[in-house]
Structure 1
Amino acid sequence: MNQHAPNMRPIIRQLDEMTANRIAAGEVVERPASAVKELVENALDAGATRIDISIEDGGKRLIRVADDGCGMTPDDLPLAMSRHATSKIDGSDLLAINSFGFRGEALPSLGAVGRLTITSRAQVADGAEITVAGGKIGPVRPAASNRGTVVDLRDLFFATPARLKFMRTERAETQAVADTVRRLAMAEPWVGFTLTADGREIFRADAEQGELFGALQARLSRVMGRDFIDNTIAIDAERDGLTLTGFAALPTYSRGAAVAQHLYVNGRPVRDKLLTGALRAGYMDVLTSGRHPAAVLYLTCDPQLVDVNVHPAKAEVRFRDPTAARGLVVSALRHGLANAGHRASSAVGDATLAAFQAEPPPPLPGRSYQMDYRPSPGAIRSSFVAQAPSADPLPDLAAGFAEAPSARFEDITPGPTHAPLGAARAQVHENYIIAQTDDGMVIIDQHAAHERLVYERLKAQADEKRIASQALLIPEIVELSEADAARILSIADELSELGLVIEPFGAGAVAVQEAPAMLTRLNASALIRDILDDLADQGQSDRLRARIDAVLSSMACHGSVRSGRRMSAEEMNALLRDMERTPRSGQCNHGRPTWVKLKLSDIERLFGRKD
């Protein structure tokens, strides 16, 4: 028996406008941060150059958004409070969307669950205001106002008190609002933003000047921090009508969670699985498991190539050609990381400096002043006499002492200290190379560095000769559903290039005829099913490539210079020059840095030689 079937035939009713708005509000407005997002996006669509946001009690008591945009006339205000009334589109083409909003649901939804007041003035009209409380629209009244719009939303969810039970603490809601404003500010560097919480300014980003990359750099430095910009590479690529710009962090600047990943499509912040998967694939063989890349990427294209009307909060998008979008992100990131060469995060050097802690001097009894320990005039005269040149040989101060053991570094001829990684000067603990540069010193992990060099060489050889495959004595039959069999066979050519040859074997089954020669003890059935899971989730799969790279990485590890081996001066300098020429040599195969640089000025500061 169907438990959902009623005993009596249900009656179909037309829901009233107020109920419909409350239902819509449940999809559009999940929490105060959602309301802030909708109102700020409206301000951006109105052409605002300055947006001021104020909240109280995490946005539950008050949300106020003021902008200097085009404003609205008194006749516009009632329409703005009606569902599906919008100035963004005319309804003729739902793919030709060049604005943030287009459904006409945000303001009516906010008015249905809170007390909403809009005060606005257009350039050629008088100011006016309208109030909506719990879905009941009041009359339009004259109001004094500058050009632009001020939206006051008070007592959010007072009309749906059950929703208040799902609100988090004031601090958590305030943080969510701040994160929302920061994400929007990162996409609009030429717009100024301020966010005030309970009378205290918690975020401010003045409008930036200059061309795109310069303005974005300045805005991201303000929002993400200067360290982020100092440790990123610029991304600028184009393919098939898609353009990708932004900044991607070096692998050694990775994070423990995906909290520093910001993706935008036509200026709209999105959380899209396709793009997130592409970002992860771009860093596939330079990050260890459990680490996440940091990046701010902007994908722009003709609105006809992407559908933003697939999610009520417009957080997800659908591309007409998802393969092209994913391919652009992956190739641009890999190309950018390869061009970064031997660069490593400056944060590694900062952490190294922080590890050097000068031992504080022992406290002296009583009060001490600099003058208390000045030598007497007699002591000064004696000191000068002792320092005066003399024809007599100096006494053997070491006489009577046994020869002290010392670290004896190999005599190394001067090298190119002007090179990025400098010239090798010594090897310590048979694992670390000390190199001198014009402005500091570099410490290199010889095993990790050589491991990356060998790995890149093996990958290049594998790509040139294609991955060698080995025919199976008995083909392995993998039973699948007909849909899964068709899906895996659709990428048979790509798998063949990686050494995995599959063929159809009746309805709902495939036969694995050949496997990559380097993958011993391959469980072909498990691999096929894992690839299918990736295809279902992301539309693409790098799982086979990742397994091959893991084998190459293991081969590189065993074939590289081992820790504990003494290296000659020529070998050390050759290693440094190879690192400078090899892409991605700033980190080993596991994502750890291969070298650390200390600036001379920082070293002098450690020893108190410079303030």
Structure 2
Amino acid sequence: MSIRRLPENLVNRIAAGEVVERPASALKELVENAIDARSRRIAVRLMGGGIDGIEVSDDGCGISRNELPIAFERHATSKLPDEAIEAVNTLGFRGEALPSIASVAQVRLESRVAGEDGWSISVDNGRATDPVPAAIPHGTRVRVTGLFERVPARRKFLRSARSEYAACLDLMRRLAMARPDVGFLLEHDGRTIFNLPPDQDRPTRVAALTDRDLKANSIAVDLERDGVVLGGIAGLPTFHRGIADHQYLFVNGRPVKDRLLTGAVRGAYADLLARDRHAVVALFLEVPPSEVDVNVHPAKTEVRFRDPQLVRGMIVSGLRQAIEREGHRSSQPAAASAMALWQREGEGPRPPAGGFQPAVQAAWDGSQPSQPVSQYAGPTGLVADTGRKFEGFGALAPVSARAEVAVASVPVASDAPLGVARGQVAATYIVAEAEDGLVLVDQHAAHERLVLERLRAGAAGSGVAAQRLLLPDVVDLEETDCDRLEARIEELSAFGLDIERFGPAAMLVRATPALLGTVDTHRLLKDLADDLAEHDAPLSIGERIDHVAATMACHGSVRAGRVLSVAEMNSLLREMEATPHSGQCNHGRPTWVKLGHGDIEKLFGRR
């Protein structure tokens, strides 16, 4: 078979397949052109998810009449003034966007340069008309209709209008997030999706495009190393989602989806989130153009770094440092949703029909000052302090809350961000009074984080103190699990866990970390083996160590149901205030929540 040149229209369609895969692909190219034209405001209108039509209007520099036909020629661009493609600083530079779109759709482009007349040109699946005058404000407006109408093999692979719209919306969020200095309007089938003004600060723009609560539950990220700058915002570990759809990554102002970057985010939150939860982040990397290749993919959604480990290390350490700066901070639920969980009665409970004893009745009616009542009896007498029963009231649940007189000196609430312990509820939650409200602490979740940080500190220093077992424990496991544990004996020893192989399918435990107290060695080793099976290969040594520490901490923390003294409760609160990441446990759950004074006043109708 002889070699032949393909016809130009077929060449354009093949090129379009590399750039225009779906409506979102065409929209990306058009909006990036508008951004590169130094626009201050960009309006996007979609019809039928972009399948029926796309319109992009901007107030940028515009295109002159003589350049309109050239704009639809392949490899014709105004964004590459010389041949230094490695130093490009615009979003587009290949000169393939407009000709690729116009080869598989009907395109009408109207443009006017400031101080000149406006002109319009139409291209129908590769066939262009001559420019004609057009009435248009300065800037450019592009309409795309009939996408893939004459390429049925491509059109039938488009998804539903709803799915295509979702892809367009995600794209617009990313582009608008990358340029908070530009105003963006998005409409779909005549309905306004968002209308963002120009010159917004970055946290406000990101929160407006993701979650309103993100701004109040996020932290700033700022790090510079070897000419690489990392900025942006990251959600607190307790502010997370079930899917990773709110992770936005940008390189030199370009939205990208890169495995290296998403893996780094996962590593930074490794021991702060449960395995099925995902962080909310918007990270912006500024890298010297010579250190990154943006020409890897025709759609420029992927990049390649000259030093990928530097970039990954910056993201992990930048996020870690930002989270550590916040100390014990935790995301708090919205006041409306928290208040809805409280039960409030209009008049309060009424006394029993038969009445209380005289002293109690007088205190109830307010006829005399109320006194601390430790025992009071209804007509049928007091049943028990843990199961009171009055006529008309029925049996009450056993009282599980308790308070205790403090023997040691109690700190002042204003000097303690997490307040002063006032009691314990259900032998699980610590009730503390802070200067600005009421604090509830989950003692198990909080202590789990504290144990983890102690284990980390010990492993990084001289090692964790070990507690020798009087009689070594033999733990039976699968042979593969034993192999994984045997390969990590030295790493585990740094945490005070002394084990050795004991036959093909057993491990001998000689010592456990003293911090953990009495632990179930079989369960501990089984959990460690499971973690190593899942995370051993893809993670670095440091990250593997973090996973080991997190698993151990879960076995050594104060369990729910343990009664604590006031001194123990206050000690736990003070250590939380001094420990990084103490606002969330190792699984991403909050360790404490606060009910502000304003919320309490609302409960009692004072506001």
Q: TM-score range by the shorter chain?
A: 0.7 to 0.9
In the alignment, what sits opposite 2:307? Answer: 321
In the alignment, what sits opposite 1:154? Answer: 145
2:399 counterpart of 1:402: no
Shift of 1:301: 1.6
2:87 counterpart of 1:96: yes
Matches within 5 A, 1:328-407: 328-347=314-333, 352-358=338-344, 400=379, 402-403=381-382, 405=385
In the alignment, what sits opposite 2:521? Answer: none
- 2: CA distance, partners of 1:528 / 1:566: 36
Give the secondary structure class of the aligned counterpart of 1:441.
Answer: strand
Give the secondary structure class of the aligned counterpart of 1:75.
Answer: helix
Give the secondary structure class of the aligned counterpart of 2:142.
Answer: strand
2:548 counterpart of 1:562: no
How many residues get paired? 520
Q: Is the 1:452–1:589 contact (alpha carbons within 8 Å) kept by the matching residues of 2?
A: yes
In the alignment, what sits opposite 1:593? Answer: 590
- 2: CA distance, partners of 1:258 / 1:79: 41
Give the secondary structure class of the aligned counterpart of 1:128.
Answer: strand
- 2: CA distance, partners of 1:527 / 1:333: 24
- 1: CA distance, partners of 2:527 / 2:450: 27
Matches within 5 A, 1:175-186: 175-186=166-177
Q: Is the 1:33–1:176 contact (alpha carbons within 8 Å) kept by the matching residues of 2?
A: yes
Shift of 1:465: 3.2
- 2: CA distance, partners of 1:572 / 1:88: 64
- 2: CA distance, partners of 1:561 / 1:272: 40
Q: Is the 2:106–2:123 contact (alpha carbons within 8 Å) kept by the matching residues of 1?
A: yes
1:17 to 8, 15, 23: 8
In the alignment, what sits opposite 1:46? Answer: 37
- 1: CA distance, partners of 2:573 / 2:131: 74
What is the letter of the counterpart of residue 16 of structure 1? P
In the alignment, what sits opposite 1:141? Answer: 132
Give the secondary structure class of the aligned counterpart of 1:131.
Answer: strand
Shift of 1:28: 0.9
Shift of 1:498: 9.2
- 2: CA distance, partners of 1:16 / 1:152: 26
Gaps of 5+ in 1: 1-9, 210-214, 363-385, 391-395, 469-494, 501-516, 535-540
In the alignment, what sits opposite 2:452? Answer: 455
Q: Deviations over 1:116-145 (max 9, x none)?
A: 111111124321111110111111222222
Matches within 5 A, 1:294-309: 294-309=280-295
2:204 counterpart of 1:218: yes
Give the secondary structure class of the aligned counterpart of 1:345.
Answer: coil
Matches within 5 A, 1:49-68: 49-68=40-59
Cα gap change, 1:430 to 1:152, in 2 (>3 Å): same
Give the secondary structure class of the aligned counterpart of 1:252.
Answer: coil
- 2: CA distance, partners of 1:561 / 1:84: 66
In the alignment, what sits opposite 1:411? Answer: 405
Q: Is the 1:435–1:441 contact (alpha carbons within 8 Å) kept by the matching residues of 2?
A: yes
Cα gap change, 1:421 to 1:13, in 2 (>3 Å): same
Cα gap change, 1:606 to 1:315, in 2 (>3 Å): same
Q: Is the 2:536–2:544 contact (alpha carbons within 8 Å) kept by the matching residues of 1?
A: no
- 1: CA distance, partners of 2:218 / 2:43: 30
2:28 counterpart of 1:37: yes
In the alignment, what sits opposite 1:552? Answer: 549
Cα gap change, 1:580 to 1:350, in 2 (>3 Å): farther
Shift of 1:520: 6.9
Q: Is the 1:467–1:498 contact (alpha carbons within 8 Å) kept by the matching residues of 2?
A: no
What is the letter of the counterpart of residue 415 of structure 1? P
Q: TM-score, normalised by structure 1?
A: 0.79
What is the letter of the counterpart of residue 410 of structure 1? E
Gaps of 5+ in 2: 349-364, 370-374, 386-398, 466-488, 495-510, 513-523
Q: Is the 1:349–1:597 contact (alpha carbons within 8 Å) kept by the matching residues of 2?
A: no
Q: Is the 2:267–2:543 contact (alpha carbons within 8 Å) kept by the matching residues of 1?
A: no
Q: Is the 2:528–2:548 contact (alpha carbons within 8 Å) kept by the matching residues of 1?
A: no
Shift of 1:349: 7.0
1:205 to 171, 196, 202: 196
Q: Percent identity?
A: 50
Shift of 1:442: 0.8
- 1: CA distance, partners of 2:577 / 2:534: 40
- 2: CA distance, partners of 1:522 / 1:448: 18
Cα gap change, 1:496 to 1:262, in 2 (>3 Å): farther
- 2: CA distance, partners of 1:557 / 1:458: 11
What is the letter of the counterpart of residue 84 of structure 2? D
